[in-house]
């Protein structure tokens, strides 16, 4: 290697020469030049690897469903949407990443402080409402094209994300709780809770879990759903008579839960993962299931999988858990990224894609007014539609806009009380009093 | 692969955002201003560059906060700079005074700095992409198991730190064993090396289990490899096994002195493929395949003790009687400080003629590597004594010496 003396120049072209010292300075200045250079490239010339602009989508996975492999969702939901989007916007890449629901607030705060927040967030409605109330996302842009898209969404879904400041997000699709069973062991699904108990008494194993997916539906069947709404929203009944009625309903519900927990053929699982795996493995014959798990169950069980709506009870229809998947807008987007993000949202609500999501995934329901669930085409879709009707009729809490601020902490405590009642640590009366106290903000 | 590229390089899209550009330009401005002021102000030149950068970034952060702008990236930079400064302080004040230069350098360059760099990469990736999604990228199915990027990265990182870091606990155990069991230094080094191999072996087994590699598939591959071992990598494998065997047998251990190609050498290390020998005569390091010790005779001076017997042939004029000359030779050898008194120096008459007699002087030294030096010094002492006694002036030219060690 030839070593140049310090005063020697390096002739690059005829008119361009650098001294060795100059080269050293250039090397030092390179990091400074790099960022504007990349920025300039990004702004002016499409970079070959990302080929222009990127829209960042944060997909928030639901608590207790984090274990689900989403390969099917990738293929059945994202791929058609992305294919269509790339056809319309060939220079825009969509980068998706998943964040757990419990970490999403911290993650958004951290990323937004750096200017690296997502352009779009896909989460369930209460989470999006929470994020808007905390100023971590922007309301849906009030542009003419967006107004047209909003008009295409069913008002009953919009109601769940509407605030005085505007819409916290734009609904994409709906997920519901229903019943899954092994056709070989359970030829006819139970339509009532009494039939469910009879099924357990006949030797088939019924699985339940103490969480919104696995047990909250039973509150409606015992007439305790309104009392639970009062607890969950922290709005106590105004009259003594109503208070006594609510307590009696909760006592009745808890007593029934305790009764079924004592049956030898009723298994209490830790959550949807254990229920789903139990049904796949043949340990359980009937479980409450969330529609997001249907693909996993279908892949593993094939024709053995039966799907139906949840049973009704003497107190009324079930109060199934329901999740509205919502697009929300981030705070950090550049003008063009916001435009691209809006285009992606609007495209996802187009009737042809909404219909395709329903038919391909067989686990979601459409939100577009003009798209009807094709119940005649599949038993699963018919069960989904029936579950949606049950939800509309029997889950007064979830049909309103609410945030998770009060709920997330409370639901853990309520589940602990229910568990203590079911295993016999507390009596139903003690459990009901504790739950009412928790709803009023006590400990 | 597309997913990997998109996740790994998707951050470039952030450069189109005003919030991000502001912060990057702010950082660049701090960098440029410091570079300029540092050249002009001598007092700034004396301050550590990292502290100046940290101060500059913190100042930019405060300004951004006061102006109501985003400053998370600046804060991240400041946190990384602060962590690096702290690391350097720990290195300088906590580790350097207590460790030997070689151990300090090894710890810093193999463990601390790589760990810090890794942490920075993870933090930056976490900031611009999703570690969870990066980790779940599938790299395909190997030996019946789906390998994900996260698992593979974790296994590689752990293996690296096991290989690089296992020496320190092994050295502690070796030191404790030497103190508790009074083993020799060579045995201690051998124990350290064996412990390292053991830990690395366990690490490899853990890695295979963590990756979920199907053992049946692995056995099939091992069967195929055994054919390959017979041809292509036979020597490598043979050297590896030889190295392990030599360590367990203790015949060639680090710290031993042996004769290699006629030169006294000290074994510096016994590695997987080869041993490193230090040749005393010219301070050269020789890398000798382990197999050569396994298949040929090795002369060692440190197998049972470190003593080496040196021999020296001396021709002296016949004017001195053999008894006088033997006494002189023994006295001269014994007077050298490096020559051991036990076993005592010994001189014998090898041959005689009318003009000169031939003697052999034998003596022992404790440091085999210094044999040539000690022999030379004894010869010099003999020459001086012969000169004093006029024995070098023999008309026949007798009075010569030749060493035979």
**CB contact at 8 A, A365 and A346:** no
Tokens of A377: 């085409």
Whole-number mean pLDDT of chain B?
83
Residue A41 has what pLDDT? 46
Which residues in chain B have their CB less than 8 angstroms from residue A119's CB?
none
Check whether B267 has a pLDDT greater than 60: yes
Give whichever of A244-258, B223-237, B368-382 has the largest mean pLDDT.
Answer: A244-258
For CA atoms B329, B332, B338, B344, give the dihedral sign: positive
pLDDT band at B397 (very low <50, low <70, confident <90, very high): very low
With a cut of 60, say whether residue A321 has pLDDT above it.
yes
User: Among B111, B202, B207, B109, which residue's Cα sits nearest to residue B165?
Assistant: B111
Comparing CB atoms, the residue among B16, B76, B128 nearest residue A53 is: B16
Task: Output the six-digit token pair for B153.
Answer: 């990265």
Mean pLDDT, chain A, whole residue set: 83
Bridging pattern class, strands A120-124 and A53-61: parallel
pLDDT reported for residue B80: 95
- Do the chains contact at B7 and A115, CB–CB below 8 Å? no
How far CA B236 is from CA of A9, A74, B7, in Å, comes to 49, 47, 39
Euclidean distance between CA atoms A208 and A215, whole angstroms: 6
Q: Regarding beta strands A53-61 and A92-100, do their DSSP bridges make them parallel or antiparallel, or are they unpaired? A: parallel
Q: What is the pLDDT of residue A10?
A: 43
**A3 — pLDDT class (breaks 50, 70, 90):** very low
Residue A432 has pLDDT above 90, yes or no: yes
Tell me which chain B residue has its CA closest to the CA of residue A109.
Answer: B72
pTM of the model: 0.72
Identify the weakest region by mean pLDDT among A63-77, A244-258, B17-31, B51-65: A63-77
Q: Counting every residue, how long is chain B?
A: 405
A337 to A171, A334, B238: CA distances (angstroms): 20, 5, 61
Cβ contact A229:A249 at 8 Å: no
Mean pLDDT of B293-300: 79
Judging contacts by C-beta atoms under 8 Å, the chain B residues touching residue A56 are 10, 13
Tell me how far apart the alpha carbons of residues A406 and A412 are, in angstroms, rounded to a whole number: 11
For A259-296, the pLDDT digits (tens) are 888 888 888 888 888 999 999 999 999 999 998 889 88
Q: Residues of chain A whose C-beta is under 8 A from some C-beta in B? A: 28-29, 31-32, 35-36, 38-39, 42-43, 47, 49-50, 53-56, 93, 95-99, 110-116, 332-334, 336-337
Which chain B residue is nearest to residue A113, measuring alpha carbons?
B72
The reported pLDDT for the residue numbered B239 is 81
Contacts of A114 in chain B (CB under 8 A): 19-20, 23, 70, 72-73, 75-76, 127
Q: Which residues from chain A sit within 8 angstroms of residue B129, using beta carbons? A: 97
Structural contact between residues B403 and B313, judged by C-beta atoms closer than 8 angstroms: yes
Contact with chain A for residue B28, Cβ under 8 A: yes
CB-based contacts of A96, cutoff 8 Å, min separation 6? A56, A57, A58, A59, A78, B133
pLDDT at A13 over 70: no
Distance from CA of B87 to the nearest CA of A (A): 23
Identify which of A32, A56, A333 has the shortest CB distance to residue B31. Answer: A32
**Contact check, Cβ <8 Å, A98/B72:** no
Per-residue pLDDT tens over the stretch A34-66: 555 555 444 444 444 445 688 999 999 877 776
Tens of pLDDT, residue by residue over B351-394, are: 888 888 888 999 988 887 788 888 888 889 888 888 888 777 55
For the segment A243-271, the average pLDDT, to the nearest whole number, is 89
Q: What is the pLDDT of residue B229?
A: 65
Structure confidence at residue A401 (pLDDT) = 65
pLDDT at A45: 40
Q: Which residue of B has its CA nearest to A39?
A: B15
**Mean pLDDT value of segment A295-319:** 91
Query: Which chain B residue is nearest to residue A69, measuring alpha carbons?
Result: B136
Token pair, residue A310, equals: 């949840």
Please state the rounded mean pLDDT for residues A226-244.
84
Q: How far apart are CA A192 and CA A416, in angstroms?
A: 26
Chain B interface disruption, residue of A93, A103, A334, most B CBs within 10 A: A334
B10–A36 CB contact, under 8 Å: no
Nearest by Cα to B274 from B251, B298, B291: B291
- Rounded to the nearest angstrom, the minimum Cα separation between B248 and chain A is 46
Q: What pLDDT, on the 0 to 100 scale, is given for residue A50?
A: 46
Q: What is the pLDDT of residue A48?
A: 40
Distance separating the N- and C-terminal Cα atoms of chain A:
77
Average pLDDT (A375-391) is 86
Intra-chain end-to-end CA distance of chain B, in Å: 67
The DSSP-derived string for B235-248 is: HHHHHHHHHHHHHH
* Integer Cα distance of A159 and A90 in angstroms: 34
**Poorest-pLDDT segment among A324-338, B138-152, B326-340, B385-399:** B385-399
Query: With a cut of 0.95, is the ipTM above it?
Result: no
Report the Cα A220 to chain-centroid distance in Å. 22
pLDDT for residue B182 is more than 60: yes
CA distances from B204 to A91, B90, B135, B217, B238 (A): 45, 31, 21, 16, 20
Q: Is A415 exposed, middle or buried (0-12, 13-18, 19+ CB in 10 A)?
A: middle
**Confidence at residue A369, expressed as pLDDT on a 0 to 100 scale:** 92
- Asked if the Cβ–Cβ distance from A114 to B23 is below 8 Å, we say yes
Q: Quick one: closest CA in B to A46, which residue? A: B13
Give the number of other CB atoms < 10 A from CB of residue A40.
Answer: 11
The answer to whether the beta carbons of residues A179 and A310 sit under 8 Å apart is yes
Stretch among A171-185, A315-329, B9-23 having the lowest mean pLDDT: B9-23
Q: Are B259 and B268 in contact (CB under 8 A)?
A: no
Is A320 in contact with A310 (CB distance < 8 Å)? yes
pLDDT of residue B2: 63
Residue B110 pLDDT more than 80?
yes
State the pLDDT at residue A47. Answer: 46
What number of other Cβ atoms are within 10 A of residue B314's Cβ? 24
Residue B195 has pLDDT above 70, yes or no: yes
Does B118 have pLDDT greater than 50? yes
pLDDT of A131-145, one tens digit each?
999 999 999 999 999
**Could you tell me if B39 lies within 8 Å of chain A, comparing CB atoms?**
no
- Three-class DSSP category at B311: strand
Per the DSSP assignment, residues forming a β-bridge with A92 are A53
Q: What is the pLDDT of residues B199-214, one digit of tens each?
A: 988 998 888 888 887 7
- pLDDT given for residue A337 in this prediction: 93
B343: preceding bond cis by omega (within 30 degrees): yes
Decide which of A53 and A116 is more confident.
Answer: A116
Top-confidence residue, A69 or B383? B383
Q: What is the mean pLDDT of residues A313-319?
A: 88
Work out the pLDDT band at A395, boundaries 50, 70, 90. low
Per DSSP, B197 falls in state H
Q: Sort B375 into a burial class: Cβ within 10 Å, 0-12 / 13-18 / 19+.
A: buried
Q: Please report which confidence band the pLDDT of residue A7 belongs to, taking 50, 70 and 90 as the band edges.
A: very low
Q: Is residue B39 scored above 80 in pLDDT? A: yes
Q: What is the pLDDT of residues A146-167, one digit of tens each?
A: 999 999 999 989 988 988 778 9
For residue B249 the two structure tokens come to 């047998």
* pLDDT confidence of residue A12: 40
Any idea which of A85-89, B247-251, B293-297 has the lowest mean pLDDT?
Answer: B247-251
């Amino acid at each position: 290697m030839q070593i140049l003396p310090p005063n020697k120049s390096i002739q690059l072209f005829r008119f361009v020469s650098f001294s060795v010292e100059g080269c050293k300075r250039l090397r030092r200045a390179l990091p400074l030049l790099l960022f504007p250079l990349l920025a300039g490239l990004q702004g002016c010339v499409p970079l070959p690897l990302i080929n222009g602009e990127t829209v960042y989508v944060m997909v928030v996975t639901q608590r207790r469903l984090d274990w689900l492999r989403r390969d099917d969702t990738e293929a059945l939901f994202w791929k058609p949407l992305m294919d269509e989007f790339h056809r319309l916007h060939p220079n825009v890449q969509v980068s998706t990443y998943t964040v757990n629901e419990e970490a999403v607030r911290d993650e958004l705060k951290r990323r937004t402080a750096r200017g690296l927040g997502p352009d779009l967030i896909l989460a369930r409605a209460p989470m999006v409402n929470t994020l808007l109330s905390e100023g971590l996302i922007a309301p849906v842009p009030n542009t003419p094209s967006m107004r047209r898209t909003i008009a295409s969404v069913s008002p009953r879904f919009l109601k769940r994300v509407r605030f005085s400041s505007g819409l916290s997000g734009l609904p994409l699709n709906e997920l519901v709780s229903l019943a899954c069973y092994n056709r070989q062991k359970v030829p006819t699904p139970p339509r009532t809770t009494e039939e469910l108990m009879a099924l357990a008494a006949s030797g088939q194993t019924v699985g339940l879990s103490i969480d919104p997916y696995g047990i909250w539906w039973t509150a409606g069947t015992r007439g305790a759903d309104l009392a639970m709404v009062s607890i969950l929203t922290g709005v106590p009944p105004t009259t003594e008579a109503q208070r006594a009625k609510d307590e009696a309903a909760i006592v009745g519900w808890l007593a029934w839960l305790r009764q079924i927990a004592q049956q030898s053929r009723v298994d209490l699982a830790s959550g949807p993962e254990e229920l789903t795996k139990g049904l796949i493995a043949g340990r359980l014959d009937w479980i409450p299931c969330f529609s997001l798990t249907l693909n996993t169950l279908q892949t593993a069980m094939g024709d053995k999988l039966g799907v139906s709506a949840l049973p009704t009870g003497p107190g009324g229809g079930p109060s199934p858990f329901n999740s509205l998947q919502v697009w929300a807008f981030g705070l950090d987007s550049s003008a063009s990224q916001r435009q691209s993000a809006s285009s992606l949202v609007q495209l996802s609500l187009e009737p042809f894609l909404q219909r395709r999501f329903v038919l391909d995934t067989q686990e979601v329901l459409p939100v577009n007014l003009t798209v009807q669930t094709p119940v005649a085409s599949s038993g699963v879709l018919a069960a989904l539609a029936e579950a949606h009707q049950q939800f509309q009729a029997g889950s007064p809490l979830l049909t309103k806009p609410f945030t998770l601020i009060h709920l997330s902490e409370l639901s853990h405590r309520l589940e602990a009380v229910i568990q203590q009642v079911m295993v016999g640590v507390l009596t139903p009366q003690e459990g009901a009093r504790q739950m009412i106290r928790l709803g009023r903000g006590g400990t | 692969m597309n997913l990997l590229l998109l996740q790994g390089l998707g951050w470039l899209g952030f450069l189109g955002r005003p919030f991000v550009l502001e912060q990057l330009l702010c950082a660049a401005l701090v960098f440029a201003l410091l570079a300029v002021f540092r050249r002009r102000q001598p007092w700034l030149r004396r301050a550590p560059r990292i502290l100046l950068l940290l101060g500059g970034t913190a100042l930019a952060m405060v300004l951004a906060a006061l102006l109501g702008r985003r400053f998370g990236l600046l804060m991240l930079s400041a946190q990384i700079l602060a962590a690096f400064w702290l690391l350097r302080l720990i290195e300088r004040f906590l580790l350097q005074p207590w460790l030997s230069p070689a151990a300090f350098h090894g710890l810093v360059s193999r463990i601390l700095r790589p760990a810090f760099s890794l942490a920075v990469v993870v933090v930056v990736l976490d900031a611009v992409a999703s570690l969870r999604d990066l980790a779940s990228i599938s790299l395909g199915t190997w030996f019946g198991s789906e390998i994900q990027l996260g698992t593979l990265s974790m296994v590689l990182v752990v293996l690296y730190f096991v290989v690089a870091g296992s020496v320190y606990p092994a050295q502690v155990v070796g030191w404790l064993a030497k103190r508790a069991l009074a083993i020799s230094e060579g045995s201690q080094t051998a124990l350290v090396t064996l412990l390292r191999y053991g830990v690395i072996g366990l690490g490899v087994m853990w890695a295979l289990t963590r990756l979920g590699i199907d053992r049946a598939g692995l056995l099939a591959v091992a069967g195929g490899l055994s054919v390959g071992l017979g041809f292509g990598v036979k020597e490598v494998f043979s050297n590896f096994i030889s190295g392990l065997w030599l360590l367990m047998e203790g015949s060639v251990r680090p710290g031993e002195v042996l004769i290699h190609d006629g030169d006294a050498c000290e074994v510096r290390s016994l590695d997987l493929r080869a041993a490193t020998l230090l040749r005393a005569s010219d301070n050269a390091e020789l890398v000798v395949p382990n197999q050569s010790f396994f298949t040929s005779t090795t002369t060692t001076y440190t197998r049972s003790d470190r003593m080496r017997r040196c021999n020296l042939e001396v021709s002296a004029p016949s004017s001195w009687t053999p008894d006088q000359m033997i006494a002189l030779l023994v006295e001269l050898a014994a007077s050298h400080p490096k020559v051991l008194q036990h076993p005592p120096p010994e001189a014998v008459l090898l041959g005689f003629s009318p003009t000169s007699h031939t003697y052999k002087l034998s003596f022992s030294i404790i440091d085999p590597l210094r044999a040539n030096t000690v022999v030379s010094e004894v010869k010099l002492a003999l020459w001086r004594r012969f000169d004093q006694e006029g024995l070098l002036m023999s008309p026949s030219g007798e009075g010569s010496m030749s060493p035979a060690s």
